Amino acid sequence: MEAIVNKDTCIGCGACVGVCPEIYSFDDDGKAEAIDGDVPSDLEAGAVDGRDQCPVDAIDIKE
- Domain range annotation of the chain: 2-62
Give the pLDDT score at 60.
98
The pLDDT value recorded for residue 24 is 98
| 1-21 tens-digit pLDDT | 999 999 999 999 999 999 999
Burial of 31 (0-12, 13-18, 19+ CB in 10 A): middle
Per the confidence metrics, is the pTM higher than 0.85? yes
Query: In whole angstroms, what is the distance from residue 22 CA to residue 48 CA?
Result: 12
The predicted pLDDT at position 53 comes to: 98
CATH class given for the domain over 2-62: alpha beta
Query: Hey, is 16 helix, strand or coil?
Result: helix
Task: Return the pLDDT at 35.
Answer: 95
| Residue 55, pLDDT score | 98
